[in-house]
Amino acid sequence: MPKYIFVTGGVVSGLGKGIAAAATGALLEAKGISVTIQKLDPYINVDPGTLSPFEHGEVFVTDDGCETDLDLGHYERFTHVRTSVFNNYTTGKIYNNVITKERRGDYLGDTVQVVPHITDAIKEAIRSAATRDYDVIIVEIGGTVGDIESLPFLEAIRQFRYEAGRENVLYMHLTLVPYIKAAGELKSKPTQHSVKELRAIGIQPDILLCRTEMPLSPDVKRKIALHCNIEPDAVIAAIDVETVYEVPLCFKAEGLDKLIEKKFSLNRPEPDLSLWTEVVKRIKEPKFEVTIAIVGKYVGLKDAYKSLTEALLHGGIANNARVNLHWVDAEEIEARGAEVLLSEVDGILVPGGFGSRGIEGKIKAVRYAREKKIPYFGICLGMQTAVIEFSRDVCGLSANSTEFDTGIKEPVIYLMERWYNHRTGKIEERTKDSHMGGTMRLGAYPCVIKEGTRAFNAYGIKEISERHRHRYEFNNKYRELLTKNGLIISGASPDGELVEMVELRNHPWFLGCQFHPEFKSKPIEPHPLFRAFIEAAIRKKELFL
Ligand code: GLN
């Protein structure tokens, strides 16, 4: 039977509950404790696939092809957890399950209610995270205590303790202890109120994680403990840090691992956090520095590219380099030209994206990188724009993707109606009934790498698996013409049908991939392509110095 840690948040949103849950996971793993982490989201969308990245940040994709909350990205980056459909539930998904059962007649005439039917379904969802024999399961409840939406989840985790046993359940609450400059004091009142709210619904937190700008003195901890009915040593200061990867070290310094160990009667050795210490050191004291331009559409909201910016940071860690991000709005390139906006950078990256806005600007950025021999990394849409640019400028085609121009003469990127799905072993139809005009290829698919290419150089192996989230594909009709003109197809599906990676000869580093490598990068295991891209950017910079 696994032990459960429920993580709730209070006072205000945006305190970093996802990071707190992930860092707790990292700390436990460093003690040899096996963990998984689950997120319960109070919103009604069945999954975040339909949420605007402007509003909700990036959609994270799991191996099994689920579109999930970006917090699952934190879980995977901090731990060895491989998330799946069982790691993320929303109110919408829970209700959907209950309503489907009701329609099937499974409730035998019962009045279907929030308690017990919805709360039962939530508890069942929580139990579903135990896909293996984990020692500890961390469950993060989205939203803030006091929100109407999160009430059924809080009620479910309250009930859960009775069913799983007191000794197997721990409640951890993340709050804010603000520093009021005028008074020169840290204030504990918001935390007291938040805990009061939680206790009113029957949950007494065991551990308080207090976000703070400065260390909490023993006096402050005692005061919080007294008012919140917990031990002073269970008040943990979650102090602001320069990099999130420092959080496991901070939690260790505050004794969080000991508290959890004591509560669950686990007897484990001291955690080995040497890898995290090294990661933090490399972030804080880099030897090199490069600037990478990200040419995209959602440059206003950084969370829309969370995994991507983290993966670039990891590429920097692998090379002992600070990676400065230069955000460029693709539409601005259309208006002002690539030269004006990209002349100072050491590498250019066009990330994934949907819709035609800014496409011509992205294509201009690709051309600039190709002609000026600046390292280029194109991800998903970034690979597609690289193919379009090459087809137009090198092969003289009137080319585009049918996503942006349905009547285009040379559809070098198009909607492949049928494709062989290596995961299911079936032929898939990209049905036209979806609101975006075709179903997506989602999740992990195998890719075979051609030896002697940059891709092979980076990965060092022939067979890889990477995650996808797209509809359109490279059109094989143009394969011969494009390769004859110098495009290298360096990666493809095992049957050779789906182009997964393209490269250019006579260029320091130019690579496009149809998948999203950023979803699999971690600070302690930087992704090979990001490592190689940053390495190329450093080389380019050194050359021009
Ligand atoms: N819009 C493109 C497609 O659907 C690319 C998607 C992406 O970059 N994730 O194929």
Q: What atom of ligand 1 comes closest to residue 379's alpha carbon?
A: 8
Rounded Cα–Cα distance for residues 189 and 223 (Å):
10
- Candidates 478, 513, 476, 480; CA nearest to 496 is 476
Looking at the chain, the whole-number percentage of residues with pLDDT higher than 90 is 83
Q: Is the pLDDT of residue 231 over 70?
A: yes
Give yes or no for residue 441 CB within 6 A of ligand 1.
no
Give yes or no for residue 140 CB within 6 A of ligand 1.
no
Candidate from 388, 402, 472 with most ligand 1 atoms within 8 A of CB, to mutate? 472
Residue having the nearest C-alpha atom to atom 6 of ligand 1: 470
Q: Are strands 321-329 and 487-492 parallel, antiparallel or unpaired?
A: unpaired
Structure confidence by residue, pLDDT tens digits, 111-147: 999 999 999 999 999 999 999 999 999 999 999 999 9
Give yes or no for residue 500 CB within 6 A of ligand 1.
no
Which residues on neighbouring strands pair with residue 325, listed in sequence order?
292
Q: For the residues 423-432, what does the mean pLDDT come to?
A: 78
Give yes or no for residue 468 CB within 6 A of ligand 1.
no
Give yes or no for residue 472 CB within 6 A of ligand 1.
yes
Whole-number pLDDT of residue 436: 54
Q: What atom of ligand 1 comes closest to residue 440's alpha carbon?
A: 4
Q: Per-domain residue ranges for the chain? A: 3-278, 287-544
Q: Please state which of the ranges 11-25, 41-55, 69-83, 384-398 shows the lowest mean pLDDT.
A: 41-55
Question: Are 509 and 536 spatial neighbours (Cβ–Cβ below 8 Å)?
Answer: yes
CATH value of 3-278 in 3.40.47.10, 3.40.50.1390, 3.30.200.20, 3.40.50.300: 3.40.50.300
Give yes or no for residue 53 CB within 6 A of ligand 1.
no
Q: From ligand 1's centre to the CA of 184, what distance in Å?
A: 51
pTM attached to this predicted model: 0.93
The owner of tokens 């008040």 is: 235
Structure confidence by residue, pLDDT tens digits, 440-461: 899 999 999 999 999 999 999 9
Question: Are 521 and 314 spatial neighbours (Cβ–Cβ below 8 Å)?
Answer: yes
Question: Are 527 and 315 spatial neighbours (Cβ–Cβ below 8 Å)?
Answer: yes
Q: From ligand 1's centre to the CA of 441, what distance in Å?
A: 10
Rounded Cα–Cα distance for residues 419 and 426 (Å):
8
Q: For the residues 275-300, what does the mean pLDDT come to?
A: 92
Whole-number pLDDT of residue 183: 87
Beta strands in 29-121 (DSSP E): 35-41, 60-61, 67-68, 88-90
Q: Give the chain's end-to-end CA distance (angstroms, integer).
A: 59
Q: Give me the active site residues, please.
A: 380, 516, 518
Q: From ligand 1's centre to the CA of 381, what distance in Å?
A: 5
Q: What atom of ligand 1 comes closest to residue 380's alpha carbon?
A: 8
Rounded Cα–Cα distance for residues 364 and 337 (Å):
8
Residue having the nearest C-alpha atom to atom 1 of ligand 1: 354
pLDDT, mean over the chain: 93
Query: Cα torsion for 527, 533, 539, 542, to the nearest 10°?
Result: -100
Q: Is the pLDDT of residue 67 over 70?
A: yes
What are the backbone angles phi and psi of residue 49, rounded to the nearest 5°? Answer: -55, -30
Residue having the nearest C-alpha atom to atom 8 of ligand 1: 352
Q: From ligand 1's centre to the CA of 64, what distance in Å?
A: 18
What are the backbone angles phi and psi of residue 217, rounded to the nearest 5°? Answer: -70, 160
- Model confidence at 491, pLDDT cuts 50, 70, 90, reads very high
Q: For the residues 312-330, what does the mean pLDDT come to?
A: 96
Whole-number pLDDT of residue 544: 67
Query: Residue 155 in 3-state DSSP?
Result: helix
Candidate from 471, 499, 515 with most ligand 1 atoms within 8 A of CB, to mutate? 471
- Candidates 354, 368, 374, 365; CA nearest to 329 is 365
Q: What atom of ligand 1 comes closest to residue 351's alpha carbon?
A: 8
CATH value of 287-544 in 3.40.50.880, 3.40.50.300, 1.20.950.20, 3.30.420.40: 3.40.50.880
Q: What atom of ligand 1 comes closest to residue 353's alpha carbon?
A: 8
Structure confidence by residue, pLDDT tens digits, 137-183: 999 999 999 999 999 999 999 999 999 999 999 999 999 999 999 98
Give yes or no for residue 527 CB within 6 A of ligand 1.
no
Whole-number pLDDT of residue 420: 85
